Chains A and B, each alone.
Chain A
Amino acid sequence: MKTLAPWIFVGPAVVAVIVFLYGPMIASLVLSFLDWNLLSPDVGFAGTRHYQAVAASHDFRLSAWNTLLYCLVLIPAQILLPLGFALMIHGVRGSRMGPIYRGALFLPTIVAYSVAGVAWSWLLNPVNGLFNEVLSALGLPRSRWHTDPQLALLCVSLVTFWKSFGLNMLLWLAALTTVPQSLIEAARLDGARPRRIFFNITLPLISPTAFFIAVTTLFSVLDDIVGVVDVLTGGGPAGSSSNLLYYLWQQGLGFFQFGQASAVAMILIVAVLLVTWAQFALVERKVHYE
């Protein structure tokens, strides 16, 4: 009974992980080497053909490059800017405005992607969107925003950031509240400046949260961008705002090319695993768990 009890507790979670995570991953791996479609009983062995087709695809390469750019821009932004906001809100804790600032900054996170996409397409509409009206009022040239191939990626990144930075901000804020004020006060009495207090006291104490945010932000950035791209640009113009996850979705559920979609999924899984492994190998040793 003693050995059974833990399994009763973790059983549902284990089943869910197997059914919804490892099962689909293994299915994707298998499908990436097969010629198969939903409606045909015929299954053929494709070898590495789907991987070769994907590698040869201009759209895949463009999506991969865009994904790299997204990550390079969004991951640091999604970690550092929410920390900045959290520090500012933490600084005004106890004031009446604190909860209002916190609520206002967190609000975009709970907005549905479809709503966010529609709202931003009104704001960014190149013909008569609010942003262009403001630019005109200031005597500045109007922009084509997300319909300009040069700007589409940036626009989608900005909207994604706006939509999802609130969660990291809350996590940072929760971590900051765990830092004992007595340590901060003592450091201040010893003449330490705010910058020194932050790097020598606050950051080490919140480093477990920092590590958690660093790891999970990679996943959330990849996940969040799909909804925004789908609603705002559809990957366009001419693929300029597409990314690997959107490309995967398009291949699988848009074009029903399950073999190629599965190949992209496996490439993405391997890439994310490598990055996560690197994060654990290089960053985790700097985390203070005590």
Chain B
Amino acid sequence: MTSLSRRSLLVSGAAMIGAGLLAGRARASDARLTISSIWGADKPFQKVVDAFNAKGLGVTVENRFDGDYETATAKALAGIAAGKEPDLMITGWKFGYFARRILGARDLREINSARVNAIMANFRPSLAPLVTIDGALIGLPWAMSTPITFINSVLWAEAGLSADLPENPDTDWLYDAARKLDAALKGHATYRSALALSNNEWTSQSFIQNAGGFIIDPNGKLALDSEAARLGMEAYCAPAHEGLWLPVSGKEQDAAFEAGALAICTTTSTRAVAFPQGPAKAITAKFPGLPGHARNMNSGGNFLAVYTKNQERAEAALTFLEFCASAEGQKIWSEVGYLNTSTHEIPLINEFMKPAEAQLVDGLTAETIWPGKRGLEGQTIWRNWVSRMLTKDVSVADGLKQASAELSTVLAD
């Protein structure tokens, strides 16, 4: 037990204050950047931020948790209007047009094309178009997910179904399995529902594209009046109409699957971090394609965009992006469960990510980026019409027709 004299206390106190002041002076020369993000301090993104800050590169970043994509975007808009824009923001893919045209996400090449080209060289070239809006490269394509199929292996085995999942499952196989599960497991202690294809504006896009159509075609035109769109939506709604699928929110679907009450669910590949570890002991397969049609899967997730108008701060933001794009940054980042979009050799966090990785190798389109000033409204309109089709409030053919009419008006604004 060391005794503490008044003198030693004063000396050590003075030393601590002095050290603090010196460190403060050193930090004062750093550029301090704010990143508006959808992840709190308990998520792997914070580890990326901490690892970068620990490097002492003269740039310090602060991760500011601003809620989900919608809330973070609203806060960014208010901040920009008040002249206090976030330096960087985690921006949902679906907000691409809004980020560029309304929020003014910077064209990274305008900040420093040489540095940005070097950063982008760390990513697969096929991803650049996904973050290129109106000819401007507006972000780092580092957070990409894709919907895949999660299967409760316990219920699957109890229903006598084979654990050898097809490499390219289709809806015939999936719905047939759901019927068998339903027939075999009614009255089972935990089983409550065969299937969930929720998160409806996202997975409905997968079905339409796997049928050969688009919600919005590559030229930015609405394409819901096609035969392929009808085919895709009919396949999407079929299990709900048959009673194999109870349409619930993504949140409720996840809770039910984790509790072991749901046999099959299609959702974001990032759930591969948690689902296999829970009571469902999930196994994974690719998202179901449509029989006789070439698969054309979509991606999801977000990109890192720069919003600061100040050139010096924008350059500092690139320093952070350089770290994010590096092998070291990517390795830390991979814990989130996003796909490895970089050219670095980053091992998959677990085998359950393999179907998602395979879909990436096959090629992924962007998730629907709703155009026009009222694009965000467009997403809600589509979501509502999908709900109406699922609940038979309207037939698929009429639902598509009316959705198309309503969306045309809104997206033309």
* Contacts from A to B (Cβ < 8 Å): 37-39, 121-122, 125-128, 132, 144, 147-149, 234, 236-239, 250, 253-257
Chain A CB count within 10 A is highest, among B77, B103, B252, B256, for B252
Can you list the 9 inter-chain pairs with the closest CB atoms, starting with the nearest?
A128-B261, A127-B256, A38-B81, A238-B387, A238-B384, A237-B387, A255-B377, A128-B192, A127-B193
Q: Which residue of B lies closest to A127 (CB)?
A: B256
| Min CB–CB distance A234 → chain B (angstroms) | 7
Which one, B21-29, B241-249, B316-324, is touching chain A? B241-249
Cβ of B255 < 8 Å from any Cβ of A? Answer: yes
Cα distance, A192 to B155, chains bound together (Å): 66
Residues of B within 8 Å of A39, CB to CB, are 77, 80-81, 102-104
**CB atoms of B246 and A38 under 8 A apart:** no
Set B70, B102, B377, B384: member contacting A239, Cβ < 8 A: B384
Kindly state the separation between the CA atoms of A128 and B255 in the bound complex, as whole angstroms.
9
Interface residues of B in 361-413 (CB under 8 A from A): 374, 376-377, 380, 383-385, 387-388, 391, 393
B259 within 8 A of A: yes
| A121 and B252 form a contact (CB under 8 A) | yes
Interface of A is mostly: loop
Question: Does the CB pair A147–B380 fall under 8 Å?
Answer: no
Contact partner of B393 among A37, A149, A234, CB < 8 A? Answer: A149
B251 at the binding interface (Cβ < 8 Å):
yes
10 pairs across A/B with beta carbons < 8 Å?
A39-B81, A127-B196, A144-B246, A147-B252, A148-B391, A238-B387, A254-B74, A255-B377, A255-B380, A257-B374
Cα A238 to Cα B377 with chains together (Å) = 13
B63 within 8 A of A: no
In the complex, which residues of chain A have a beta carbon less than 8 angstroms from the beta carbon of B74? 253-254, 256
Contacts of A144 in B (CB 8 A): 246
Q: 19 new A-B pairs (CB below 8 Å) besides A128-B261, A132-B192, A256-B74?
A: A38-B77, A121-B249, A125-B252, A126-B246, A126-B252, A127-B192, A128-B190, A128-B259, A148-B391, A149-B393, A234-B249, A237-B384, A238-B393, A254-B70, A255-B374, A255-B376, A255-B377, A256-B102, A257-B377
Instruction: Give Cα distance in the complex from A105 to B354, angstroms.
Output: 51
| A125→B249 CA distance, assembly (Å) | 9
List residues of chain B with CB within 8 A of the CB of A126: 246, 248, 252
Interface on B for A, CB 8 Å cutoff? 70, 74, 77-78, 80-81, 102-104, 190, 192-193, 196, 246-249, 251-253, 255-256, 259, 261-262, 374, 376-377, 380, 383-385, 387-388, 391, 393
Contact A127-B251, Cβ < 8 Å, known A236-B384, A238-B387, A256-B376: no
Contacts A38-B77, A39-B102, A255-B376: A127 and B393 contacting too (C-beta < 8 A)?
A: no
CA gap between A47 and B403 in the complex, in Å: 29
- Report the Cα distance A239→B388, complex, angstroms: 10
Contact A127 B377 (CB under 8 A): no
From A234, A239, A256, give the contact of B77 (CB < 8 A). Answer: A256
| B78 pairs with A38, CB closer than 8 A | yes
Task: Report Cα–Cα, A257/B384, bound state, in Å.
Answer: 19
When chains A and B are docked, how far (Å) is the Cα of A147 from the Cα of B253?
A: 12
CA distance A255 to B307 in the complex (A): 20
- Residues of B within 8 Å of A234, CB to CB, are 249
Nearest CB in chain B to that of A62: its residue: B384
Chain B residues closer than 8 Å to A147, beta-carbon distance: 246-249, 252
Contacts of A250 in B (CB 8 A): 380
Query: Complex: how many Å from CA A128 to CA B377?
Result: 32
A38 to B82, CA, bound (A): 9
- B388 contacts A238, CB within 8 Å? yes
- Please tell me if the beta carbons of A125 and B81 are within 8 angstroms of each other in the complex: no
* Residues of chain B within 8 A of A128, CB atoms compared: 190, 192-193, 255-256, 259, 261-262
- Give the nearest-CB partner of A233 in chain B: B249
Enumerate chain A residues within 8 angstroms of B251, measured Cβ to Cβ: 121
Residues of A within 8 A of B376 (CB): 254-256
Q: How far is the CA of A255 from the CA of B103 in the complex (A)?
A: 13
Taking the closest CB of chain A, its distance from the CB of B261, in whole angstroms, is 4
Q: Let me know if A122 and B246 touch, CB within 8 A.
A: no
